[in-house]
Amino acid sequence: MPEKISNQSNYSLLQISTGDQRQRWRLLKDKLAAYCVTIGGLSIIMAIVLIFFYLLYVVFPLLLPAHATDIGRYASPEPQLGNTVFLAMEEQNEVAVRFTDTGKAVFFSVPDGKTIAIESLPIPDQAQIVSFGHGSFENGEVIYGLSDGRAVVAKHDYKLSYIGNKRLITPTLLYPLGKEAIVVDSQGHALQQVEVKLSEKNNILLAKTADNRVILCNLSKKASLFDDEAGLERNESLLADVGGQVDFMLVDKVQRNLYLANQQGDLTVFDINDKTKPIIKHKLSVVSQGTSITSMDFLNGDISLLIGDSSGLLSQWSIVRDAQNHFSVEKLRVFKVSDAPIKAISPEQRRKGMLVADTDGNFGIYNTTAERELIKEKIGTGKPDAITLSPRANAMLVETTDGQINFWTVENEHPEVSLASLWQKVWYESYPKPDYIWQSSSASNDFEPKMSLVPLVFGTIKASFYAMLVAIPLSLFGAIYTGYFMVPRIRQYVKPGIEIMGALPTVILGFLAGLWLAPFVEVHLTGIFTLLMAVPLGIMGFAFAWQKIPKALRHKVPEGWDSLVLIPVILLCGWLAFAISPLIDDVFFNGDLRTWMNTTLGIGYDQRNTLVVGLAMGFAVIPMIFSIAEDAIFSVPKHLTTGSLALGATPWQTMTKVVLLTASPGIFSAIMIGFGRAVGETMIVLMATGNTPVMDLSIFQGLRTLSANIAVEMPESEVNSTHYRVLFFAALVLFMFTFIVNTLAEIVRQNLRQKYSSL
């Protein structure tokens, strides 16, 4: 007996020991699970923080200010060869040239000023140099006007070669019109001012003679039938009705417009499409009373004029066309450089910026698109006599009146970006008024980048709004019916079926939206709108008729199976809507709704538009909102609903007063998660909207969203370029937008949860 009691005690102890081991193992697993969940949650937070800081890391260089560094100064090379009339520099910042008033070209080393080569232009012995002019900075043309009515045209060029691993730049002068002096004025008067513009077909020499005539000499290339080399055919035209003194002359690079101005501020614009018959297009004053023009040059691209005056203002003027197709010369913007007269302007060769110097020795670098001053410095003790920017705008030379050349390096990587250019209206060249435009790249160097994020933000909000307008009613009403009214036997098929819809790849939905839905909506536009009215009216009419059916007949349909009866009604209403749409078109819209909207209301129609996006993206968002909202409604405790029904409330009263309030945090979360999905959607918007960054409230116009823009342009952007960093800034804006919206949504959800947790 004692042995039996001992065995039972040992068995009990063994059971207790085994139970303790299981409990300890269970606690260990709970702790491991808790640690894993904690680590996973922290990892997600850390990943989000790292994404934010990486985006900020790429965007941060856009915020860095530009600056210029004084590298050194040295005496102007070969001063005995004459005074400098023009400075230029090649793109490697190793070799520069100064043209003198004696017809010499002195090539020298940029860092130290050592002379590399000296070339003499072929000036005839019997003629004297009277004037100097230059063509485009990019091509390097220069022209010397002579006392006998002739001119010499040259072009400075730089040949790049490598000897071993060492780069060698060999400067030289080219003569695109030949070394012989060219007759500009057939009467032989001295050319007091000259200008040159060369192209593949036409070469324009513009001159003002000593007797105040302005001559347009056009040398067009004419190929001979029996000679491989093309000759030059000369036409000389006299510009009439110039009026007054001419102090500044410019011809744009496409040789359409010719600009003449005097110091008093009178500007005359000629149309020179027909070189033999120049026509005056515009006459206006471009400076205020009491001031005078002190310098004038083209902005890169030759579309805009840069005019500096004696009050220290630099203004940008351009020919613009209004909505009535009328052209006028408009002042786009003004920069206040200083209080001293502007001495010289050197435009950038690849961007819409310029270097400006005044008579007091101050210089600044400005950008027209960003509308801001980037750099403002003092040259030194001397006054500026000639200035130039390198082709890459990363270095500059300034020659002062004391015979010294100052060499500066420039750090100015992203001048086009400012708060104004990203978020405000900008008056771009050739546009009739300031506007929000996104057009980031082009094939030409003189393109003005247009990087306003406003159209992209507008497109994102617009697409999300219409997607949610489609998704919220369908998904929420579906969730309410499925989670509260539908019988379990049907629910077990409906809920998984709708959730499977969420697994469809968005690229497939975008493909179907772009290739099938968009043409379908275009052809059946009236049917779509008729459908939106016919289905609700049909359901309401059927519900009214259902109440009139005898109870014995109605009770044959089991409770909760009513939705199956509605399926044929919905299908019938849909078929009826499309069937009668041609009749509606004929009776009310003259046969076609799209044409009627365009002619009567002035509303255009693009095949891939916001309506298509709303339908397609709404379809993509519905499963997510439905699933979360249905779970929240279905999870409402049964004792709440049964208690409400027991107190005499109807099922609808219980739904609105108890179930929806209790489930409101989950329903709100479902809506905000669906909204986040719509905001970040890429492929559907990319394939179904035409991807046009326009700001139009019409539902029949296309759009472009932030996410779609990043997907389209990121592969083509140059790494670390302004375009590249602005795209990352767009991603940062999208990140911050979703973060702020989700944070506010979580605050609202927590308040709802606390408010209705007592139910």
pLDDT > 60? residue 622: yes
Residues with Cβ within 8 Å of 284's Cβ and at least 6 positions away in sequence, in order, are 266, 267, 329
Q: Helix/strand/coil (H, E, C) string of 254-265?
A: CCCEEEEECCCC
**Could you tell me if residue 625 is inside a domain?**
yes
**Could you tell me if residue 184 is inside a domain?**
no
**Could you tell me if residue 718 is inside a domain?**
yes
In terms of residue numbers, what domain contains 42?
2-63
pTM of the model: 0.87
pLDDT > 60? residue 723: yes
Residue that is last in its domain, among 44, 63, 82: 63
Token pair 């030759």 in the structure block, residue: 302
Please tell me the predicted confidence (pLDDT) of residue 13: 53
Q: Are strands 327-336 and 313-321 parallel, antiparallel or unpaired?
A: antiparallel
Yes or no: say if 268 and 214 are a contact pair by the CB < 8 Å rule.
no
**Could you tell me if residue 377 is inside a domain?**
no
**Could you tell me if residue 600 is inside a domain?**
no
The helix (H) or strand (E) run that includes residue 576 is helix 562-588
Residue that is last in its domain, among 42, 63, 84: 63
Question: Average pLDDT, stretch 93-104?
Answer: 93
pLDDT > 80? residue 320: yes
What is the end-to-end Cα distance of the chain in Å, rounded?
61
pLDDT > 60? residue 3: no
**Could you tell me if residue 742 is inside a domain?**
yes
Of the candidate ranges 1-10, 127-136, 582-591, the one whose mean pLDDT is the lowest:
1-10
Question: Average pLDDT, stretch 652-665?
Answer: 88
Let me know if 154 is exposed, middle or buried by CB neighbors in 10 A (0-12, 13-18, 19+). buried
User: For residue range 350-402, what is the model confidence (pLDDT) as tens digits?
Assistant: 889 999 999 998 999 999 999 999 999 988 777 899 999 999 999 999 999 88
Nearest one of 317, 338, 337, 339 to 328, comparing CA atoms? 317
Pick left, alpha or beta for residue 596 (phi over 0 → left; psi -120 to 50 → alpha; otherwise beta). Answer: alpha
- pLDDT bucket at 17, cuts 50 / 70 / 90: low
C-alpha 621/C-alpha 466 separation (Å) is: 11
User: For residue range 520-529, what is the model confidence (pLDDT) as tens digits?
Assistant: 999 999 999 9
Neighbours of 45 (CB within 10 A): 10
Token pair 């405000």 in the structure block, residue: 424
Please tell me the predicted confidence (pLDDT) of residue 576: 93
Average pLDDT of the residues of the chain: 88
Which CATH number fits the domain that encloses residue 515? Answer: 1.10.3720.10
Question: Average pLDDT, stretch 215-225?
Answer: 77
C-alpha 259/C-alpha 370 separation (Å) is: 26
Please tell me the predicted confidence (pLDDT) of residue 443: 62
Please tell me the predicted confidence (pLDDT) of residue 438: 92
pLDDT > 90? residue 4: no
- pLDDT bucket at 743, cuts 50 / 70 / 90: confident
User: For residue range 236-277, what is the model confidence (pLDDT) as tens digits?
Assistant: 888 866 666 888 999 998 889 999 999 999 999 999 988 888
C-alpha 375/C-alpha 413 separation (Å) is: 12
- pLDDT bucket at 618, cuts 50 / 70 / 90: very high
User: For residue range 159-217, what is the model confidence (pLDDT) as tens digits?
Assistant: 988 887 888 899 999 999 889 999 999 888 999 999 999 988 889 999 999 888 899 99
Of the candidate ranges 6-10, 62-66, 175-179, 441-445, the one whose mean pLDDT is the lowest:
6-10
Please tell me the predicted confidence (pLDDT) of residue 751: 83
Of the candidate ranges 230-234, 490-494, 602-606, 746-750, the one whose mean pLDDT is the lowest:
230-234
pLDDT > 90? residue 109: yes
DSSP code string of 27-65: HHHHHHHHHHHHHHHHHHHHHHHHHHHHHHHHHGGGGSP
Number of domains in the chain: 2
Please tell me the predicted confidence (pLDDT) of residue 139: 87
Neighbours of 714 (CB within 10 A): 14
Neighbours of 589 (CB within 10 A): 16
Please tell me the predicted confidence (pLDDT) of residue 757: 66
- pLDDT bucket at 14, cuts 50 / 70 / 90: low
Residue that is last in its domain, among 63, 83, 103: 63
**Could you tell me if residue 500 is inside a domain?**
yes
**Could you tell me if residue 19 is inside a domain?**
yes
C-alpha 497/C-alpha 492 separation (Å) is: 9
